Amino acid sequence: MYVLTNPLPKGYFFTQATRSTTDPLHSLVITAPIHSPEDEAMADIDRIRMIKARHEKELLAMKNVVGVGIGFKETAGGITDRMSIVVMVERKLPAETLDSKDLIPPLIEGIPTDVKAVGKIEALPRG
Query: How is the chain split into domains, by residue range?
Result: 2-31, 37-117
| pLDDT category of residue 35 using cuts at 50, 70 and 90 | low
pTM for the whole thing?
0.67
d(CA 81, CA 74): 9
User: Quick check: 54 pLDDT over 90?
Assistant: yes
User: Quick check: 68 pLDDT over 60?
Assistant: yes
